[in-house]
Structure 1
Amino acid sequence: MQATSSVVLLWLLLMAWSAAAQGNLTPGSVTRRIELGPNSSGEAVAVAVSPGLSTVFLFDSELEQAAVDVDTPMGFSIVDVGRMTLRVVPSAKIASGEKVRVSVRFRDGAAPPGASFLLTVHPAHADSLVEVFRSARTVESYQQEARDARAETLRCQEENSRLVSEHRTPGGLAGLLAVSGIDGTGVAGRIVTETVSSDPKSALKPFIVRSYRSKDRVALEVLLRDLRGEQPWTASGAALRGPHGLELKVLRVWQEAPIVSGGTGRVVIEAEATAESARGGFSLKLWEYDGPRTATIGNVAFP
């Protein structure tokens, strides 16, 4: 009976916090497209990369493979240069927020003779595919970009409609019923503290982890301690990555109060997930606002 009460209480709190909670949407699979004009100034184009995740550049011209230059190659576990491709995978040695300049040159010597990119390290997200156009783009490329833009616009409209709908509904359990967040099976909860793993490099350690699942949502309640560093820590975003690279769409990250050195704190994460997509072990990564410290928890399972 006590466990059931705590499950209901958490979801009541989630609904009450929804107006003030931070939204953090998982980036879609839209391809980045970069055009290089013949008179490009050589200013580096920012590209997001992340430790352990692959970023692939596809060029429409052949590269001078020996002339590809990475400022700090030791910060990458993979730097693979192909005839018209460049694949990079940052290692765990590279810090969040760090910027690495990468320069390439093209074989034919036409304008522009090369290009520069500023790889900016994010703790959890990366631009997975970057198409670089040096000559005129094809009609098909523009059509695909238009399709991607329409899909992104539709996603944003759906997300906006969801937020507006939730703000109009009542809070608490009535709100969950109003937005069809639960069905006859209710909300299931599980204490997973004993089975999760903590990355030894994390800025904080979990000492209590509870997972929850409703009809189409999952949530985690994580209590953290042993903060590294003197500055207070506040979660800015979260990523939930499951089997085969599946990444859940995180809807909210809520923190009770900043965590200070020697203290403890609670973070609640809510994400979209069906019963099928919530299966298996997940990795949770939390990062702070404007800082390099992250917390990674592995082998998280939902009811």
Structure 2
Amino acid sequence: MPSCLFVALPVLLWSTHVLAAPPVGNDAVEGTLRMEVGADGLGTRPIHIGPGVSTTLLFDTDIQHDQLSLESRAQFARVSTGSSVLVLVPSNDLQGGDSLKLSIPFKDPGSALPSRLSLTLVVDSGAVDRQVEVYRRARSAESYRQEVQQLRAELERLRQEHVSSGEGAREPMGLRGLLIASKSLPGIGVDGKWMRIKCRRPCSFHVERGSVFTSGPRRAVQLMLRTADTKPWTIGKAVLVDRQGKEWQSFPPFQSGPITAESQATLILEFDVNNAELDGYQLRVTDVDGTRTAQWSGINFP
């Protein structure tokens, strides 16, 4: 983070202690929003504010805080400014969906950088941007690294919520979701020559059609199956094994319905494989009871 943002931290700590409302549960967006000032002086997206909740803007250059222009300023419980800090606390008079204009001039208008920042504030108590870092100069590599870490943490949180809610099988994500939703697969390697692989005997399945897919580290297998058993199959777990014996467990399998001898079902398996090798894999699937297993070898990805 630029050094002048660290200078602003004492003001930030004071303002959040004095001005911030009590914790509001899920009414605040976690993490920091980082915004670059465009050449036209416009923000890259609206800032979400909420009644009784503080939003703090930190700038990487000094602002002319005594000359900022805030629409409907009288409807804010607090507007606190510092050399490079602006804290806004809307009052309860503002209604959800209201849109306000905020204009902030910078102290060195004669530079080649934008002289003023124009922002749109949107009242949305369900998703408040609590802290915003505004970059007028070029951002540092460290700020991008922090943003990537924040995004990764948020994606992992959403993934955990998705898994814990039991929705993984109903709403597959990643390649599984794409294969279910679309016939067009731009940027994905596809190989439909499934008949080259071998199923270890006794084999529980008849593979009527199959394809394999590659996208970066992701590998996916799509099979149209019938059973060779009398008992229907529901896949509980799938494991991909490379030539060295390293195993990767699949994301929750997607299955269009029970696999039986009478009715074909589609099975889609997706793996995150940290291995550049594309050839010589084995695939092992186990039913939900963990009592039956089927295994194929000779799987090569495109």
* TM-score normalised per structure 2: 0.44
Q: Which has the higher contact order (CA 8 A, sep 6+)?
A: 1
* TM-score normalised per structure 1: 0.44
Task: Answer with 1 or 2: which has the greater Rg.
Answer: 2
